[in-house]
Amino acid sequence: MGRAAHAAATRTDDPVETVVVWEPRSKPQAAFIACPIFEVFFGGARGSLKTDSALGDWLSHADLYGENAIGLMVRRNRVQLMETYERAKFLFSKLGFKFNDSEHTCKGATGARLRFAYLERDQDAEEYQGHSYTRVYVEEIGNFPSPAPVMKLMATLRSAAGVPCGFRATGNPGGPGQHWVKARYIDPAPQGWKVLKTEFTNPWSGEKIIRERVFIPGRITDHDLLGAAYIANLQMSGSPELVRAWLEGDWSVVAGAFFPEFEADKHVVKPFAIPEHWSHIRAMDWGGARPFSVGWYAVSDGQDVQGAPKIARGALVKYREWYGMKLNQHNVGLKLTAEEVARGIRALESEDGKIADAVLDPSAFSTDGGPSIAERMRAAGAHFREADNKRVARAGALGGWDQLRARLKGNDAGPLLLFFSTCTESIRTIPALQHDSLKAEDVDTEGEDHAADETRYACMSRPITHDAPGEPPAKYAQHRTFTEMVKRQTARRLSMEE
Ligand SMILES: Nc1ncnc2c1ncn2[C@@H]1O[C@H](COP(=O)(O)OP(=O)(O)OP(=O)(O)O)[C@@H](O)[C@H]1O
Ligand SMILES: [Mg+2]
């Protein structure tokens, strides 16, 4: 345990009796508090002591820097924030911190100040522009669908008093921000503990600044604070994938994936020369501030093709994508004009031959005074018709997500939807989509869903029927899993009661 953590952990109002109020209870927790690196992400298993680590870190920081320690602790929503706030109140009050419940702030005897806030909408981060903090904490960072508000908060880290500033985040695998969090913290060093360096140049002075970040992995086995019953509870709480993600902190498992049917081995193929007589279609999801997605598909006739695996008749092969995302900025759009996008499309498909059909999301056809996006693209040479935007099943007809799922599942001849390995953004984002927590049959639209929407439009333009005898419709698959899950849980409960 570091010096600061120990000092912070003792009651300050009684110099004789020393009662330990808080101390690290696992190696990663101790490391998190002692870590001098600018940006630290503590992530992994449920119950790996992450939230308490953030609170312990604040105690340490406040103890070291007194009145110059100014902190901000955020979560995505109010209910989640209140949980952290109550735990902080319980711990910090014993160390002389005074809380202001209407402002959600607290102040230590030395003047150290910490503010608690929730950022329900991405724009809420703007309120903090111009503030100065020495510590910013983001709890459950995976609940932020886009990194934008988090990065805005990072820009508030500065201290006129020379306090070394730091960004501290915690999180579990899964959640709408899973893919950007994984890309930023996990992918560069999945086992963690490795310091990653990024170099920045000050545009005025030319001075080079190195910013460091590190991922500290948390596992349920790091400590024995919660006992076997907690592990049993977790084991009963979801699909096997979710349990693995939560118990082991495994980020490669996309917990709650909307399309668990998507498998790289099955659905991703090396590019091959598309036979000329296959028909071509194009689909698009419009976006400006968010990425747009354009996809080109060829329809297989089921014949063998040189250099290609066997492909089922009627399968859609996505052979090209154009994803309008700013370089390395997930979920941030290029903000191109309709004309620029149309010209880009024409240039990309100049050697494709005839495009038999092209569909675009209906919102791009709405007129708001001037010509619609679709009209402007048409004038610049890219024609589209309105896509069928039915997301979920209604009145017996399959919705778009079911169509996409049914194509991923395919038939006896194989999958009915394939992706060239060059369609990297579709391959990155479609398997990462999550269920909407309030409407399980729909995708959580807080995730990066543009390539999926566009693929859905393509699937709806060529709907498939799938009334194979004995096979329940795709839309019931979830209910079936659910029933199985209940049975498994009941069986487990009974065996535990014995
Ligand atoms: N150092 C500590 N001393 C005493 N109790 C602790 C300590 N660290 C964590 N705990 C307690 O252990 C429990 C789990 O810890 P915590 O809430 O920090 O885990 P978590 O990783 O944030 O969990 P989740 O993934 O559910 O958010 C909580 O009741 C917390 O108060
Ligand atoms: Mg927590």
Question: Relative to the CA of 24, which ligand 1 atom is closest?
Answer: 1
List of residues 6+ apart from 316 with CB closer than 8 A: 281, 297, 298, 299, 300, 407, 416, 417, 418, 458, 459, 462
User: Candidates 2.60.40.10, 1.20.1560.10, 3.40.50.720, 3.30.420.280; correct CATH number of 264-466?
Assistant: 3.30.420.280
Rounded to 5, what percent of the chain is helix, strand, coil?
Answer: 35, 20, 45
Burial class (CB in 10 A: 0-12, 13-18, 19+), 464: middle
**Distances from the Cα of 342 to the Cα of 279, 286, 346, 364, angstroms:** 21, 11, 6, 13
Return the pLDDT at 260: 81
Considering only the C-alpha atoms of the chain, give the largest distance between any 2 of them, rounded to a whole number of Å: 88
Residues 6+ positions from 206 with CB-CB distance below 8 Å:
none
Sorted by sequence, the CB contacts under 8 Å of residue 216 that are 6+ apart come out as 28, 31, 32, 35, 40, 41, 42, 43, 192, 193
Q: How remote is the CA of residue 492 from the centroid of ligand 1, in Å?
A: 26
- At residue 79, what is the residue type? V
Q: Do the first three CATH levels of 3-226 and 264-466 match, i.e. the same topology? A: no
Beta partners for 40?
168, 214
> What is the pLDDT, as a whole number, of residue 483?
24
Element at 31 (helix H, strand E): helix 27-34
Q: Who contacts 395 (Cβ-Cβ below 8 Å, separation ≥6)?
A: none
What is the CA(8)–ligand 1 centre distance, in A? 18
Instruction: Give the atom of ligand 1 at the shortest distance from the alpha carbon of 55.
Output: 18
Q: Is the CB of 21 under 6 A from ligand 1?
A: no
H or E stretch at 481: helix 477-497
* Residue identifier of the C-alpha nearest atom 4 of ligand 1: 22
Which is the closest atom of ligand 1 to the Cα of 45? 25
* pLDDT attached to residue 8: 44
Q: Which of 19, 32, 52, 137 is the pocket-test mutation for ligand 1 (most atoms within 8 Å of CB)?
A: 52
Question: Residues 6 or more apart from 433 whose CB is under 8 A from it?
Answer: 257, 258, 259, 443, 444, 447, 448, 449, 452
Q: Which two tokens stand for residue 134?
A: 């020495």
∠ CA(64), CA(67), CA(69), 5° rounding?
A: 60
**Which 3 state secondary structure label does DSSP give 284?**
strand
Helices 227-235 + 240-248 axis angle, to 10: 150
Q: How many CB atoms lie within 10 A of CB 182?
A: 19
Protein residue closest via CA to atom 15 of ligand 1: 49
Q: Which 8-state DSSP code applies to residue 272?
A: -
Low pLDDT (below 50) residues in the chain: 1-12, 14-16, 466-493, 497-498
Q: What pLDDT is attached to residue 439?
A: 57
Which residue, chain included where needed, has tokens 């996990």?
186
For 150, counting Cβ atoms within 10 Å of its Cβ (0-12 exposed, 13-18 middle, 19+ buried), the class is buried
CA dihedral 476, 479, 481, 484 (to 10 degrees): -130
- Measured in Å, residue 440 CA sits from the centre of ligand 2 at 24
**CA distances to 9, 88, 94, 101, 169 from 73, in Å:** 20, 11, 19, 15, 10
Considering the domain 3-226 in this protein, what is its CATH number?
3.40.50.300
Residue 224's pLDDT is: 82
Report the separation in Å between the CA atom of 49 and the middle of ligand 2, taken as the mean of its atom positions.
Answer: 7
Report CA-CA distances (Å) from 14 to 58, 94, 96, 157: 21, 11, 11, 34
Give the ligand whose atoms come closest to the C-alpha of residue 88.
1
Domain ranges within the chain, ordered by starting residue: 3-226, 264-466
